C-alpha cells in the first residue's frame, strides 16, 4: 500500500473512532462505529486478507452495529448533556494520552522484529482462519459473544428501572 494512502486511511479511521466517543447522539455514535469498522476492513484488503475484510463488514459493521442500534431504539436514548470536569481534567487526559503514546512508540521501537517477506502456508484461506478461530482462540471467541449478550441484557435491565 502506498504510504500516503495508508496515512490518509489511518487519519480517517482515527477521526471516525474519535467521533464514536465524542458524539452525544447514540445513533450518530453507532454510525461512526460503522465507518470505523468499514475503514478497518479496507486495511485488511490491503494486507491481502479479503476473507477477514468481508467478515469484518458482515459481522461487525453489519450485525453487531445493527444490534446496538436496536438496543438504542429499544431504550429510546436521547442525546444528553455531559458534565465536563473542567480544564484540569482535559489537560490531564491529554498529558496521559501523550505519555501513553510515547511509551507505546518506545516499546514498539525496541521490540520491532525484522520484517519477514515470506507468507506462511495457507495465509488468508478460510480453512486456516477457521482452524485458528475454533481451536486456539475458541475461548476468546465465546467470551466475546457472552460479553455482548450480558451488555444487552444489562442495558435492558437498567432501562426498566
> How is the chain split into domains, by residue range?
1-81, 125-161
DSSP 56: I
Mean pLDDT, rounded, of the chain: 82
**Of 33, 1, 28, residue with least CA distance to 17:** 33
**pLDDT for the residue 17:** 93
**Of 61, 57, 29, residue with least CA distance to 44:** 57
- Show the low-confidence residues of the chain (pLDDT under 50): none
The pTM score is: 0.59
44 Cβ contact list (under 8 Å, min separation 6): 50, 52, 53, 56
**pLDDT for the residue 10:** 93
Which CATH number is 1-81 given?
1.20.120.1200
Amino acid at each position: 500500500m502506498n504510504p500516503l494512502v495508508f496515512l490518509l486511511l489511518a487519519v480517517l479511521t482515527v477521526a471516525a473512532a474519535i467521533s464514536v466517543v465524542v458524539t452525544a447522539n447514540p445513533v450518530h455514535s453507532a454510525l461512526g462505529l460503522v465507518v470505523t469498522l468499514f475503514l478497518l476492513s479496507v486495511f485488511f484488503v490491503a494486507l491481502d486478507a479479503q476473507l477477514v475484510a468481508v467478515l469484518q463488514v458482515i459481522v461487525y459493521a453489519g450485525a453487531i452495529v445493527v444490534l446496538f442500534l436496536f438496543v438504542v431504539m429499544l431504550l429510546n436514548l436521547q442525546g444528553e448533556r455531559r458534565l465536563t470536569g473542567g480544564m484540569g481534567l482535559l489537560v490531564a487526559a491529554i498529558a496521559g494520552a501523550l505519555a501513553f503514546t510515547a511509551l507505546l512508540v518506545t516499546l514498539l521501537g525496541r521490540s520491532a522484529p525484522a520484517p519477514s517477506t515470506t507468507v506462511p502456508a495457507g495465509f488468508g484461506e478460510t480453512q486456516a482462519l477457521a482452524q485458528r478461530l475454533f481451536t486456539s482462540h475458541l475461548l476468546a471467541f465465546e467470551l466475546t459473544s457472552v460479553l455482548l449478550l450480558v451488555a444487552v441484557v444489562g442495558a435492558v435491565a437498567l432501562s426498566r428501572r
